[in-house]
Structure formats: structure tokens, C-alpha cells
Homo-oligomer: A and B are copies of this chain.
Amino acid sequence: MKISAQEEYGLRCLLQLASLGEDETLTLGDIAKKEGISQANAGKLMWLLNKGGFVKATRGTKGGYSLSRPSKEIYLSEVIKVLDDDEIEGHCESYTGVLDSCVHKGDCGIRPVIIGLHEIVQNALSDITLAQLLGTEKKVDERFHRIHGLKQVSVNIGK
């Protein structure tokens, strides 16, 4: 249950765009430099993000990337889905061991855990927009914990 490299760097690239002013753009070279990755790698990530509809690109001199909509309207849950090519649907068809289908046919105590976990993560991510990640570390951390603090508290009470 780790974040993948593609998720991490893709999100970072997107945040670079989110921090731009109106009408500003960044080229692949800019992004690569700012995130300390190769231009080729940045290119691939931006291509994914473009396909996912988060950024728009213009080619040619004076070209570059910018967000395709305001950072307030881009939720982490969507971004992660695109970057990690996330499909919980096919899970039970892919983890079959050496067999043709999962051995836990019909009734399975693990499936709800896998799916439930996925829900929890998606849920947490769907509360957060790119815009909320722009401040300083301290501010972002506070925001993040304010959002999820509620969950924490209620569980403790519930116990």
C-alpha cells in the first residue's frame, strides 16, 4: 500500500502548474528542472496528465503546459486514478495465483477489505483539491489534519 513513483512525481508536476499565475505556462524543461527529474520523464508524466484532462498543452515556440481548469476543481482522487491506472474492479480477476480464477470464489472475507481500503483512500483523496496543497508545509499539514481529524475523533468516540 504505497504511493507509486508515477503518482508522486505526477502530482508534483501538477502542483508546479497549480502554483502559476494567470496566463503563465511551464515547458517540459521548466518542469523537469523544478522537480529534479529528466525532461523525458516529465514528458511522459505530462502526457498522462494531459490524457487525463488535467492539463492543456500548446506546442511550438512559446508553448507549454497549464492547468485545464482551476486548481480548486481538481481533486486528488481523480489525479491518482489517472496516474496509477487504478481499477479496483478487476482486482479479483488479477490476483488469482497460478489458477484461472481466484480461489476465493463465491464467498471471500478478503474482498471487502481490499475494496473497503480502496474506498477509504479514495474518500480521503476526494476531500482534497490541488488548491489546498499550495501553501507552506505547515499550512498544508494543518488543513490536511483538520479535514481528517473529524474522522479520527469520531472513531475514538465510537469505540
Q: B1, A86: Cβ atoms under 8 Å? A: yes
Question: B residues within 8 A CB of A7?
Answer: 1
Fill in one digit per residue for A2-31: 1 if any B CB lies within 8 Å of its CB, else 0: 111101110110010000000000000000
Q: A98, B38: Cβ atoms under 8 Å? A: yes
A residues contacting the other copy or chain, number (CB 8 A): 64
Whole-angstrom distance between the Cβ of A103 and the nearest chain B Cβ: 4
Given contact pairs A35-B97, A84-B1, A97-B36, A137 touches B109 in the complex (Cβ within 8 A): yes
Given contact pairs A8-B114, A37-B97, A116-B144, A136 touches B107 in the complex (Cβ within 8 A): yes
Question: B residues within 8 A CB of A123?
Answer: 152, 155
Assembly CA distance A113 to B102 (angstroms): 34
Whole-angstrom distance between the Cβ of A26 and the nearest chain B Cβ: 14
Copies of this chain: 2
Q: B96, A36: Cβ atoms under 8 Å? A: yes
In A93-134, the 8 Å CB interface with B consists of: 95-99, 102-104, 107-114, 116-117, 119-121, 123-125, 127-128, 133-134
- Whether A53 is near chain B, meaning CB under 8 Å from some CB there, is no
Question: B residues within 8 A CB of A3?
Answer: 1, 114, 117
Contacts A1-B1, A120-B148, A150-B158 known; list 15 others, CB within 8 Å.
A1-B2, A9-B95, A11-B110, A15-B109, A15-B110, A36-B96, A37-B98, A76-B113, A107-B137, A109-B140, A112-B140, A116-B145, A116-B148, A117-B124, A150-B155
